Structure 1
Amino acid sequence: MAKNVAQKLIASHLVEGGMRSGEEIGLKIDQTLTQDATGTLVMLEFEALGIPRVRTELSAQYVDHNLFQEDFKNPDDHLFLRSACKKFGLWYSRPGNGVSHPVHMERFGVPGKTLLGSDSHTCAAGSLGMLAIGAGGLEVAMAMAGEPFHIKMPKIWGVKLVGELPDWVSAKDVILEMLRRHDVDGGIGKIIEYYGPGLMALSAMDRHVIANMGAELGATATVFPSDEAVKEFLKSQGRGDAWREILADENAAYDEHAEINLSELEPLIALPSSPGNVVPVREVAGREIYQSYIGSSANPGLRDFAIAAFIVDGKQVHDRVSFDVNPTSRQILENMIELGILGKLIRAGARLHQAGCGGCIGMGQAPATGRISLRTVPRNFPGRSGTKEDRVYLCSPETAAASALAGVITDPRMLDMAYPRFKEPETNRLNTGMLVPPASEGAPYELEKGPNIKPLPTLEPLPDQLEGPVLLKVADDISTDGIMPAGAKALPLRSNIPELSKFAFSQIDETYYARAMGCQKRGSFIVGGANYGQGSSREHAALGLRYLGLKAVLAKSFARIHLQNLSNFGILPLTFVDPEDCKKIAQGDVLSIPDVRNAIRKGNRVRVINLTKNETYETEHPMTPRQVEMALAGSLINLVRQKRLNLSRNN
């Protein structure tokens, strides 16, 4: 039977279940990726599992989010992560070496391998012909321990690319076109596989741009074939021997189909405050801007900086505009210097920042209040930039650079110049010195835990009955940024759940924390709309709320990663059988779920009683039998510990 690329990758790693849409499967994981905002918790979880060393082919820990060292917290985390890498056998990417996704692509990505990362944009590695999936940190810790990764078998969505991109249109416009058509939930439950003659003109780094923002569609993964473009990229990184060809079979079938004629695309832009709010740049041209930002995991390639440099070469950006350049890796920064790209940007007025995530996750470079910030980043959720009343637009490097010169949103096709061309060098100036290899097995290393590293909270098993108030009711598409924000204040507390929990829902309701602490022991509920928990993979948006007493979330539907994170930490995810029931519940209503343990054991229907209004609602839990066991135990960690204890007793 003919197979597409995604099916080949899944079939070669399938260890549990069958490849039938919606059935839970288990996949062998070859590589894992963690970053510092999520990695500290992953290392604490791995320590709790009691496994002496990672059992993957390769695991890598990057320090790219929490680079500011305003006090002891971030430096303490860096030392802890370094010691954990030494102790547990991971590669360690030092602070300032760059964003995890492009660095992993440069140094470790291998066609045909699986990659699981505690960052939702791990899917970027699909650009190399990998099956790369973002997940909660606890699942990554389990994969590091050699356990399979479990997921419901996705549908494979084939997107055929034809034609060729016109001048002033680039890869960012391709993924923005996908978001314009399908919005932020269009990829839920699907792997997007791009194919067709339009791939011929897309480099591996162009594909990275598209694959990275598959996360914004809600997709499980994005897959490209491993073809000549991938071969050229790996060769340029001095890793040509890692390449192997992986193509879809002739006449391979897909569960769903779409087609994009690249020749018909124009410059696009996502308006505040959703990546799916996309319009042509020409429709909003002329709006005054404060900031233009180049870089991030969504536009990380040398080409993206070079095109911007050629556009501003010999000119000065508008004196009102903060022109922020955020190199994505130390290696790319060195190549920018060697090729004269950086000098052009600096001369034109660019503000240079260190290689890392930076302003993309609100770690500096925050825009002025209520002013427009154009960014080549993947997300523009409210307040993510670090400014609560932000107005962040997502665009290509071409649009960002053209607008920086004019001081207003500018369609780059209106520039009085020929479209600049940039050809990737056949060989790059390589930088491997900032990557610290794993220590030899058996070497004695102790974890270095500063005062900001706190133990995981104790999580009790699910009780027989849940009862408590609805502390908050939120709308559709609430993101994990809205639940547990990023930024310079919250991010340094990722390994300190009691302190981090003080930021829960702070972007939406500053009283939430105090009200939650008031009923922490009794427990509480959240009511949400569709696609609850979209965005980042951060499991803190589940664990932090569990610490505050959250027992269940009632929503119309859940984003994939957050649904798993809720299950991992014993919070019941419940969906309304009748979505209209969502409207009947008000913030402050007291809900009760009697005999809840038996209810989730027997089936997926759960009866919820509104004690305040004397109403009853039928809900369903979307958990698999494996996830039900986690919920009953109170968390996946509790379940694993219990199984290990039972095994030792039997032996």
Structure 2
Amino acid sequence: MIKIYENGCFFNNGKIASSDNYSKEEGKKGTIAYSILKDHNISNSMENLNLKFDALASHDITYVGIIQTAKASGLEKFPIPYVLTNCHNTLCAVGGTINEDDHMFGLSAAKKYGGIYVPPHQGVIHQYMRETLAGCGKMILGSDSHTRYGALGTMAIGEGGGELVKQLLNKTYDIKYPQVVGIYLKGTPKKGIGPQDIALTIIKEVFSRGLVKNKVMEFIGDGIENLSVEFRNGIDVMTTETTCLTSIWKTDNKVKEYLKIHGREEEYKELSPKEIAYYDLLIEIDLNKIESMIALPFHPSNVYSIKELLKNPYEIFDKIEKDALSQGIKIDLKSKIKNGKIIAEQGIIAGCAGGTYDNIIDVGDILSGKNIGIDFSLNVYPSSQPTNISLNKNGTSGKILEAGAIMRTAFCGPCFGAGDTPANGQLSLRHTTRNFPNREGSKPGDGQISMVALMDARSIAATAINGGILTPATDLNIEYTKPIYTYDDGVYKNKVYYGYEKNNDTSLIYGPNIIDWPKFMELPEHLLLKVVAYIDDPVTTTDELIPSGETSSYRSNPKKLSEFTLSRRVPEYVTRAKEVQSLEDKSVFLKKIQNILNLKDVDSSKFAIGSTIYANKPGDGSAREQAASCQKVLGAWGNIAMEYATKRYRSNLINWGIIPLLTKEKDKIKENSYIFIKDIKKVLNDNMENVKGYDLETGEEILFTLGYLTETERKVLIAGCLINYYKSL
């Protein structure tokens, strides 16, 4: 099913070729990724890229903070199209007026600075971008980790808000040239197989091994032509869960037709590897052999075929339960096995991954004339109003509603815990993007826990018509109707505010919950860090660093939101961090620095006291910058890790002035200990990588490294945060 060439691979006219006859350096220039990156790079080096994007996108739990940061840094107008969608806090159901206050702020910002404002219920962020702005050869940056439009020929990257601020201020996105991984697709999927099945198969293979981390996934091969564009979109959006940097696909006439349907045929151009192309790694996937898949709690990489699970449910569920218990989470999956069958209580098909036209059409065919019964609930969210309108016109919505399912409007909430939270102890099957602990809204720390498994929409529908008994869609004998999609953007013309290149003499509208960022000090010569949380899990997600769900309502209020930092993983964190932040008397610490560490030249004016956390591999998942900014608001000066799960989390730390320390000496790090970081400012100024730390009680030396930092990133850290840096220019 999957074959991996880990030592790199040449392609000659689309076929694997011998490495004897070609140059790797020239072959790297033959990839699609190289040509797009080259077109968007304004530096004089293809090794160190300074990228400018064609468009930006944010939603309503990120855009307020981004605009506030940019405004504090000197923003005058949006220099490129910037889309502000309202698809996360859409319901305006938590916290009184504050969600709708954010929306009004967004509309006023679009009018003031020249943006594009998409009101609630009109479209989820990524579907709107696919329909209106993605095009062949473009690059788009979004403040959501699932910013992926590779199937439409767009290299799209999800990052924290600080990186969007840089683009708004006409600065650049600076990275080293990434490795490019070829994803070679061949064959045709079996009937009943959907995009989630293929995506989960890939994630299972690459995530734990880190094969594509911070790399570009380039989809090539004859199998692409056997997939509809929406099918490709469904695979593409899930590449985020591999931890890759971005994705790009070979384009063809189906992409041209997709763009033509959406009134943008001029955005098409053929993208394909050159005659000779070199990939740093190649993954070959036989689509014929893909089975209906399921990702069990609590990660999208925890993948099994449904048939494999049904053959051996007790052993597999027992393993999942033990893995969860090792993270302090008690679940009971084995109770879902009844008479040899696995029973689920809920199904959700939603968002940028599940809510596409092709998915819902097939769901309608599976549900047509059936009754899902009372014990299983199914909610379906089309990803945009044009999609919803087309489904209504061709009768699909009626099929779904008559079967007992619910059709809703475009909304991302089920994906991150702001809608359709299951009951305690239930198993929910979701065609969404993630299934982290508490991602769907439960609170394990309060004894409230449900279990989410990721599946393709077709298998969810198959399970629904079977009364909640887990059923792969490949078991069904269904004739899929595949009615042609008709796109009508009239609803967008009637509701969306198109303000690009239009500046109005208007003021921003502030609700009472929209608060400016506090002021942050410049980096001192040395740092004294107290380890206020020590997390020994293999991976720590951004959902654990700052929970989603109801906390999203406070994303515009840095101080209120910070009260939730690590609340579902280390409840003591906030109290401990505040205690460190309130320390004013440095005399006791100074004596230890001078006597135990024998650093007589250090005085109290040369160091600051702050908090830090240790985690083995923090930052998997969401791009939300609040995972870092909340720590900063509470006085954090550093993170310590064996490695960082994603570039975007590490970038968030840097943009908020938090030193991203790495160590191989985790055994020397102790919770509640103080670590003195010597000469951190000099290390950054002199472009050094190694950092010396000392345990303040024992004097033991701890070696840290910083990894690669761009010149700008070093300056941001020295300034104390991105806002300070831009104010100083």
State the Cα deviation string for residues 282-318 of structure 1 (Å, max 9, x = none).
Answer: 1233322121111211123111111111111111114
Aligned length: 632
2:304 is the counterpart of 1:219: no
**Quick check: 1:326–1:358 contact (8 Å CA) kept in 2?**
no
Aligned match of 1:391:
451
Determine the C-alpha separation between the residues in 2 that align with 1:468 and 1:131.
39
Aligned match of 1:67:
90
Determine the C-alpha separation between the residues in 2 that align with 1:585 and 1:44.
36
Aligned match of 2:396:
341
Determine the C-alpha separation between the residues in 2 that align with 1:39 and 1:443.
19
Deviation at 1:144, TM superposition (A): 2.1
Q: Residues 508-547 of structure 1 correspond to what in structure 2 (within 5 A)?
A: 508-521=569-582, 522-530=609-617, 532-547=618-633
State the Cα deviation string for residues 150-201 of structure 1 (Å, max 9, x = none).
Answer: 1222101011111111111122111111111112643212000000000011
Which amino acid is 1:390 matched to?
S
Determine the C-alpha separation between the residues in 2 that align with 1:213 and 1:615.
44
**Quick check: 2:88–2:412 contact (8 Å CA) kept in 1?**
yes
Structure 2 residue matching 1:147: 3-state secondary structure: coil
Aligned match of 1:636:
722
State the Cα deviation string for residues 28-78 of structure 1 (Å, max 9, x = none).
Answer: 21111111111111111121122321112x221111100122311001000
Determine the C-alpha separation between the residues in 2 that align with 1:14 and 1:480.
30
**Quick check: 1:303–1:424 contact (8 Å CA) kept in 2?**
no
Aligned match of 1:494:
555
Q: Residues 475-494 of structure 1 correspond to what in structure 2 (within 5 A)?
A: 475-487=537-549, 489-494=550-555
2:474 is the counterpart of 1:413: yes
Aligned match of 1:601:
685
Q: Residues 244-393 of structure 1 correspond to what in structure 2 (within 5 A)?
A: 244-285=269-310, 286-388=341-443, 389-393=449-453
Deviation at 1:502, TM superposition (A): 0.8
Determine the C-alpha separation between the residues in 2 that align with 1:229 and 1:485.
39
**Quick check: 2:187–2:226 contact (8 Å CA) kept in 1?**
no
Which moves more between the two structures, 130-139 or 245-254?
245-254
Determine the C-alpha separation between the residues in 1 that align with 2:655 and 2:165.
12
Determine the C-alpha separation between the residues in 2 that align with 1:401 and 1:616.
58
Determine the C-alpha separation between the residues in 2 that align with 1:320 and 1:283.
25
Structure 2 residue matching 1:456: 3-state secondary structure: coil
Q: Which runs of 5+ in 1 are unaligned?
A: 644-651
2:530 is the counterpart of 1:503: no
Structure 2 residue matching 1:617: 3-state secondary structure: strand
Which amino acid is 1:230 matched to?
V
State the Cα deviation string for residues 60-113 of structure 1 (Å, max 9, x = none).
Answer: 111110012231100100000000000011111111111010111111212111
Determine the C-alpha separation between the residues in 2 that align with 1:611 and 1:250.
60
Structure 1 residue matching 2:620: 3-state secondary structure: coil
Deviation at 1:431, TM superposition (A): 3.3
Aligned match of 2:711:
625
Deviation at 1:367, TM superposition (A): 1.0
2:37 is the counterpart of 1:10: yes
Aligned match of 1:646:
none
**Quick check: 1:589–1:613 contact (8 Å CA) kept in 2?**
no
Structure 2 residue matching 1:503: 3-state secondary structure: coil
Cα distance change of structure 1 residues 321 and 446 upon mapping to structure 2, 3 Å threshold: same
Match of 1:572 among 642, 655, 659: 659
TM-score (ref. length: structure 1): 0.94
**Quick check: 1:5–1:193 contact (8 Å CA) kept in 2?**
yes
State the Cα deviation string for residues 559-578 of structure 1 (Å, max 9, x = none).
Answer: 110101100011000111x2
Deviation at 1:594, TM superposition (A): 2.2
Aligned match of 1:647:
none
Aligned match of 2:648:
561
Deviation at 1:543, TM superposition (A): 0.7
Determine the C-alpha separation between the residues in 2 that align with 1:478 and 1:200.
38
Which amino acid is 1:336 matched to?
L
Structure 1 residue matching 2:369: 3-state secondary structure: coil
TM-score (ref. length: structure 2): 0.84
Determine the C-alpha separation between the residues in 2 that align with 1:117 and 1:258.
27
Match of 2:119 among 90, 94, 102: 94
Determine the C-alpha separation between the residues in 2 that align with 1:499 and 1:372.
32
**Quick check: 2:632–2:656 contact (8 Å CA) kept in 1?**
yes
Determine the C-alpha separation between the residues in 1 that align with 2:718 and 2:668.
28
Determine the C-alpha separation between the residues in 2 that align with 1:158 and 1:281.
27
Cα distance change of structure 1 residues 299 and 424 upon mapping to structure 2, 3 Å threshold: farther
- Runs of 4+ in structure 1 deviating by more than 6 angstroms, as ranges, are none
Which amino acid is 1:11 matched to?
K
Which amino acid is 2:450 matched to?
D
Determine the C-alpha separation between the residues in 2 that align with 1:332 and 1:442.
31
Deviation at 1:145, TM superposition (A): 2.4
**Quick check: 1:600–1:628 contact (8 Å CA) kept in 2?**
yes
Deviation at 1:352, TM superposition (A): 2.7
Structure exhibiting the larger radius of gyration computed from Cα positions: 2
State the Cα deviation string for residues 233-286 of structure 1 (Å, max 9, x = none).
Answer: 111112222222222212222121110010111111111001111110112333
Aligned match of 2:521:
460
State the Cα deviation string for residues 316-371 of structure 1 (Å, max 9, x = none).
Answer: 11422121112211111111111111111111111233211021111110011122
Cα distance change of structure 1 residues 450 and 427 upon mapping to structure 2, 3 Å threshold: closer
Determine the C-alpha separation between the residues in 1 that align with 2:501 and 2:529.
51
Determine the C-alpha separation between the residues in 2 that align with 1:302 and 1:561.
30
Deviation at 1:216, TM superposition (A): 0.6
